[in-house]
Structure 1
Amino acid sequence: MAVIDADEQVRDQVARQVEAAGIIAQSYDTLDQFVTRRAGGEQVVLVGDDTPTALGVCEHLRSQGFWLAVIAYASRPSLRRVVAVLRGGGYDYFSLPLDTAALLRSIDQLGDGNAPYVAARQRAAAARTRLAHLSPREREVLARMAGGHSNKVIGIELGISPRTVEIHRANMLSKLGACSSTEALRMYFEEHLLNGAAARPEG
């Protein structure tokens, strides 16, 4: 497990609690240090939700196309903050001092890294990376495809011809490396549903 916290005192306290519970902890001062020094075997990242924020860690992992279980903690977490982290891809959130028994139960739900939840999150991260290569118009076309709209309806909504929609559709499939529209839609729903966004047409 990785522990990231800019506050040395809090970081050491959390690491000691984790290790007392039987989990090997590797401490990092910052997200940058974690990125450059991590061994690569961590499945769980415990983050003090101050500096850096847990959302920043989640966003970095998504930008790299993979997912780890980001568990945030804070002395007095607000409900708004907890919701923001969980919707942003975080796995769990705890108050300090850590309830190590509850933390262990949460981690146990991850299994050995091949549990359905973990696999789904990893697919979502990979999907987001591919979708990031689409142009705004290609994303609009894909979002409307996800709404069940035909090329004709999509063209009317976007003010373009059905033929232009087909061109955007072909380019989109090529960029995604998708063999079919169904595969492209699977990526769309994985990225949107598993990362907390509503899967509905944009705009």
Structure 2
Amino acid sequence: MTTQPIYIVDDDDAIRRSLSFMLKTGGHAVRSFSGGADFLKDVAGLEPGCVLLDVRMPDIDGLEVQRELRARGILLPVIIMTGHGDVGMAVAAMKAGATDFIEKPFEKAALLEAIDAAVAQIAAHKDGATRGREARARLNVLTDRERDVLKGLVDGLPNKSIAYDLGISPRTVEIHRANLMQKLSVRSLSEALRIAFQSGLE
């Protein structure tokens, strides 16, 4: 488990309270922010840590906060949280540099696993070229059709649109999607997207 601080950015007071309690009882240092603007105002002075960032907020949405962090050269690991997730939003979050994407409500174990993975990814100190080579090697196990489906997911397309573009049925797309996730040894769309982006599959 990481000892780095965790920053919760969510306009929902109940979510902030419950997450803070859950993480503090697990031994994490936690600081909460009621919105994106509030977080960005203080972020330059914060210690390195992991950001739990809500995607739908009234002042500045989570994706805009991500873009602003990158523009400022602040490389904190970000986990996007949303209750309204879809493939397009997952793609946008991952392209903007999120280390993971989790939908509310989420299990405590899944959240802690995402936090540990985010921090471990930063702590690994692997250069981009190495990550790219490893990702491309992992994609080599896919068939051409599975790569086509993955490209569709990278473009943010739902299964029906991928099926239409490839001239196959949505059910066949679902099968290819399940197969490629099994071959890549991933359990979530965000993990598959991360490998695709690292490999340069855009």
Question: What's the TM-score once normalised by structure 2's chain length?
Answer: 0.53
Work out the CA distance in 2 between the residues paired with 1:111 and 1:4.
Answer: 21
SS in 1 for 2:105: coil
- Read off the aligned partner of 1:57 and give its amino acid letter: V
Q: Does 1:50 align with 2:59?
A: no
Work out the CA distance in 1 between the residues paired with 2:105 and 2:30.
Answer: 16
Say which of 63, 69, 72 aligns to 1:64.
72
- Read off the aligned partner of 2:67 and give its amino acid letter: E
Q: Does 1:88 align with 2:99?
A: no
* Equivalent residue, structure 1, for 2:123: 114
Work out the CA distance in 2 between the residues paired with 1:71 and 1:56.
Answer: 14
SS in 2 for 1:35: helix
Alpha-carbon distance, 1:112 to partner: 8.5
Q: How does 1:27-176 map to 2 (within 5 A)?
A: 27-38=32-43, 39-51=45-57, 52-109=60-117, 110-111=119-120, 113-116=122-125, 120=128
Work out the CA distance in 2 between the residues paired with 1:98 and 1:115.
Answer: 26
Alpha-carbon contact 2:77-2:122 (below 8 Å) kept? no
Question: What's the TM-score once normalised by structure 1's chain length?
Answer: 0.52
Work out the CA distance in 1 between the residues paired with 2:68 and 2:26.
Answer: 28
SS in 2 for 1:34: helix
Alpha-carbon distance, 1:6 to partner: 1.5
Work out the CA distance in 2 between the residues paired with 1:2 and 1:100.
Answer: 16
SS in 1 for 2:120: coil
Q: Does 1:23 align with 2:31?
A: no
Q: Residue by residue, what CA displacement relative to the aligned partner does 1:174-193 show, whole Å, maximum 9, x if unpaired? A: xxxxxxxxxxxxxxxxxxx7
CA RMSD of the aligned region, Å? 2.7
Unpaired stretches in structure 1, ≥5 consecutive residues: 121-192, 199-203
Alpha-carbon distance, 1:64 to partner: 0.5
Alpha-carbon distance, 1:31 to partner: 2.1
Runs of 4+ in 1 over 4 A off after TM superposition: none
Distance 1:112 1:24, change over 3 A: farther
Larger radius of gyration: 1
* Equivalent residue, structure 1, for 2:159: none
Alpha-carbon contact 1:48-1:54 (below 8 Å) kept? yes
Alpha-carbon contact 1:17-1:98 (below 8 Å) kept? no
Work out the CA distance in 2 between the residues paired with 1:21 and 1:28.
Answer: 20
Work out the CA distance in 2 between the residues paired with 1:15 and 1:7.
Answer: 12
Unpaired stretches in structure 2, ≥5 consecutive residues: 1-5, 129-196
